[in-house]
Structure 1
């Protein structure tokens, strides 16, 4: 009986460990004022912010990193601006380790054939605590003249296989994340520009202006 209880406990612990293990991927914009994890930044009208396009992998539980053990050999993403008149400019691919496979004004598309072709793929950086990050490109964000503009990153075609490594043969990071209990998320960064109210003159300043006007009129009359 004790053996059965011990065996059941081991199986249960194993199941709980597997349930807690997951891979999560976030496509995000990084500025010198913070990461865009569905967050907002207060800006001045038309202000320009330089941003880096990042793929972040977060590994928890018993799962193993995918982009930390094998380089990205392909990725495809889209950037769009929503709301007000904010816009983005100069979306540029980080093509180190591969080549531009058809990027456009609002898309980044990368591919690599492998080390044998001098294309080792896009590398990642170990940030510690199960977090790995790959730099995919850069872009300039321009804040709206008034109101809010959301800059949203998304998986290029919204199908599995837009993001792959040399070891994920036959499937993409999207399905790997889903199968682990995690997910693949495109994040947004909102730039918010508000009109700054012009402060009303103080009573002393107003009185000073009135007195000055009175003196000026008095001088004109004397002439």
Structure 2
């Protein structure tokens, strides 16, 4: 009986250990007003914000960071604007490789193919507590004239290998994250513009008549 209890306890502890050990990635937009991790910013109509495109690696448990061991040598990401008339413009790459991989007015795609193409890739920055980040470029986001526009960063083709250091187990960071118990996530930043309602002409006329009537009554009382 005691042997069975020992085996059961060992299995439970092992499960907890591996459940807490994982690597996850977030593709996000960072502005001077905060990170876009499925968040919303209140904006003025047509306001422009400079956003840095970042891949963030979060390592927990006994796993080892992949971005700290090698540059992010190849990637393929997509940036979409969804809803409203908000848009993006002025993509600026970070000077160490990468190119526009074909864009439309609502979808921006850019990539890097790594050292074999003379592109050294992106080095990561250690943010502490198991967090490493690499900056992929910057883009200008323009808020909608009214309502909301979601800007979504995602894996370019949603297949394994769009993001790789060429030294990961398997082929891409996507599968490495999944195999560790984590995941690879595209995040969204929403810009929301609230426009004050403008009274209709009929409402303005009615308000003017009420005000005029009030002024006449006030004058009569004074007389």
TM-score under structure 1 normalisation? 0.80
Structure 1 regions of 5+ residues with no counterpart? Answer: 200-205, 215-223
Shift of 1:5: 5.7
Shift of 1:127: 0.2
The equivalent of 1:189 in structure 2 is: 189
The equivalent of 2:91 in structure 1 is: 91
Are 2:36 and 1:36 aligned?
A: yes
Q: Is the 8 A contact 2:79 2:154 kept in 1?
A: yes
Q: C-alpha deviations, 1:26-60, integer Å up to 9, x for none?
A: 00000000100000000000000000000000111
CA distance in 2, matches of 1:119, 1:77: 16
Q: Is the 8 A contact 2:28 2:55 kept in 1?
A: yes
Shift of 1:62: 1.4
The equivalent of 1:133 in structure 2 is: 133
Q: C-alpha deviations, 1:161-202, integer Å up to 9, x for none?
A: 000003126410101111111110100000000113579xxx
Shift of 1:65: 0.7
Distance of aligned partners of 1:57 and 1:181 in 2 relative to their CA distance in 1, 3 Å threshold:
same
Q: Is the 8 A contact 2:99 2:112 kept in 1?
A: yes
Q: Select 2:114's aligned residue among 112, 115, 118.
A: 112
Moved over 6 A (4+): 1-4
Q: Is the 8 A contact 1:101 1:111 kept in 2?
A: no
The equivalent of 2:146 in structure 1 is: 146
Structure 2 regions of 5+ residues with no counterpart? Answer: 200-210
For the residue of structure 2 that corresponds to 1:69, the secondary structure is coil
The equivalent of 2:208 in structure 1 is: none
Q: Select 1:100's aligned residue among 98, 104, 109.
A: 98
The equivalent of 1:20 in structure 2 is: 20
Q: Is the 8 A contact 1:92 1:108 kept in 2?
A: no
The equivalent of 1:218 in structure 2 is: none
CA distance in 2, matches of 1:176, 1:132: 16
Q: Is the 8 A contact 1:76 1:108 kept in 2?
A: yes
The equivalent of 2:162 in structure 1 is: 162
